[in-house]
Chain A
Amino acid sequence: MFCAKESCSILPLFVAVPLAGAFLSSLLGKTSSKISDFLGSLVPAILVLLSFSFIGLKEVLVYKMGGWIPPFGIVFVVDGLTVLMLVTVNVVALMSTIFSISYMEKYTDKWKYYTLFLLMLTGMNGAVITGDMFNLFVWLEIGAISSYALVAFGTEGEELEASFKYAVMSSVASLFILVGIGLLYSYTSTLNMADISRTLVAKPNANLINFVFILFLLGFGLKSAIVPFHSWLPDAHPSAPAPISAMLSGVLIKSLGIYALVRIFYNVLGVAGGGRVLLVLGLISMVLGALLAIYQKDLKRLLAYSTISQVGYIVFAFGLGTPLGIFAGLFHLINHAVAKALMFLNAGSVVYATDNVRDLDQLGGLREKMPVTANTSLIGSMSIAGVPPLGGFWSKLVIIFAAVESKHWAGAFVAILVSIVTLAYYLKLQKLVFFGKLPVRWENIKESPVLMCVSMIVLSCICIALGLLLLPQLRSVFLDPAVEVLKNGVGYSKAVFENIK
């Protein structure tokens, strides 16, 4: 544990380390793929250690770039919510890179993959840690551009098609966000998030806030695939290589989409739940995502639609705007990040063994041949579907409690119904892939290499352990500080300015 003054100066490392890793990987990786394998796993490991050192942080840390005091300079801000996101992002990233070592063998140019991966990680860490509006946009784009390239990494027809669609829609989203930032700047004459929030409190302007709210909802809604803006996700996420699917579905849409959305709505604009908009959009995503997932014949596509549905749960919980709702949203965010990353890695393991067969009808009975994949996948499925005692059950339960508590009976009812549908399609997935009769074609199939198994086992252990976060001792160091930040609303600006030293 660092004391406050020292830990301030390590904040830029969250961006500098993966950037340096990306640079070194592109420089040295060409000579031997071992070097880029090593770098690719070393960098997230360092970041995991760094982010763990911040757990239990009591105060808000502010790092001033180049010593310029805000609002003139760019600042990095670390508070409870940031720590929670950093830990989630980097843990999932570490598991994905360990998985990549064996999985990416079948692709050429591994060093390019690691370079892009680390750039994407830079973008995510930067977006989470920054306290400046325009800086947020820049990190958003760094993360997004490298993810377009990663989706197209296989350069087959389908992958290029998905990447093009994703790139165009996500770029349009970025432009909406940019216009919103421009409007906020023209009104408040500042780009610092805390300062914008302070100015908006001092001289409120309902029309401006409403307009900017809509622009950000469009922009970040597209980035996080809330339902009317979801059409790119079921193409883009399954087309990427498995570890990238895990990153995209697990943490990218959460750090660049939901985190940014929530941070801006709660802490900068002060529109907490955003009226009923988030509630309604969340409910629609939940239902539509689940209904479409049932009919999918493609393993990874089913998981992608399930992501839309689960993101709906998270958005719905944040839309409630009550402390319990915020808590439930954050809790489900972590659970889903870990479980969905695990599910995509399992899918990757199946694809690796069967040489790119993703059609559910052609698979079956893989359980005896691939016990590790089958069992970890069962844990992941049951966690997302909400079977006790796994993490996903508790977070869904809290979401339903939160809805009941704020008297959204219909919402609570829909959430229960959708969780039954979720269970149905995950059982379908399990039945068609791992249970049943083994087709003759897969007689000689083998379990995945050790490193792939290790990352799947670790993620499934985290899945089980996440239920423990509800215990008061763990809650008070990890989840509660994050809830406090959002509950504090526009008090964010005060917290930041008080901690500038």
Chain B
Amino acid sequence: MTEYILCLILFCVGLYAIMIKRNLIKIIIGLCIMEYSVNLFFTLIGYKHGGIVPIFSSLDETPARMVDPIPQALILTAIVIGLAVTCLIVAIALKIYEKYKTYDIREITRLKG
């Protein structure tokens, strides 16, 4: 249970950074932290205490002892998607810096409301 609570705290730290921080880069870092916490959550779902690798290396192993491999496969996909999003957002943030000469969102306000 403790692991899940810590995971939730990590999620909230990321959300806090996105909502409170005023710097574009810090917002992006917050987004990354949130992504990590969700990935961690998926790992925890598949985790089994004392479980072994889900590969049949010998015939006397039973699936009951293995950790669930599906969440790990899902995380791989989620990591790739996260990478694409992060790359794109960082690129946009750099372009914003070129145009506005600042990373502070309080000064990036050409759009009205």
Contact = CB atoms under 8 A, between A and B. Distances in A.
B96 A157 contact: yes
Contacts of B81: 138, 141, 145, 174
Interface in A132-186: 134, 138, 141, 145, 148-149, 152, 155-158, 160-164, 167-168, 171-172, 174-175, 178-179, 182, 185-186
B85 A167 contact: yes
Contacts of A179: 11, 38, 41
Contacts of A148: 85, 88-89, 92
Contacts of B110: 157-158, 161
A175 B35 contact: yes
A167 B100 contact: no
Contact of B99 (A141, A145, A157, A162): A157
A167 B111 contact: no
B100 A157 contact: yes
B85 A145 contact: yes
Contacts of B88: 145, 148-149, 167
A168 B96 contact: no
A162 B89 contact: no
B93 A182 contact: no
A164 B71 contact: no
B74 interface: yes
A141 B81 CA distance: 7
A167 B92 CA distance: 10
Q: Determine chain A's interface SS by DSSP, over half rule.
A: helix
A191 B41 CA distance: 16
A342 B43 CA distance: 46
A185 B71 contact: yes
Given A157-B108, A172-B18, 12 more contacts: A141-B84, A145-B88, A148-B92, A152-B92, A156-B99, A161-B109, A167-B89, A167-B92, A171-B85, A171-B89, A172-B31, A179-B41
Interface of B: 11, 15, 18, 24, 27-28, 31, 34-35, 38, 41-42, 45, 70-71, 74, 77-78, 81, 84-85, 88-89, 92-93, 95-96, 99-100, 108-111, 113
20 contacts: A134-B74, A138-B81, A141-B85, A148-B88, A148-B92, A152-B92, A152-B95, A157-B96, A157-B108, A160-B95, A161-B109, A161-B110, A164-B96, A171-B31, A172-B31, A175-B38, A178-B38, A182-B42, A182-B71, A185-B70
In the A-B complex, list the 4 residue pairs whose CB atoms are closest, starting with the nearest: A157-B99, A186-B45, A141-B81, A160-B96
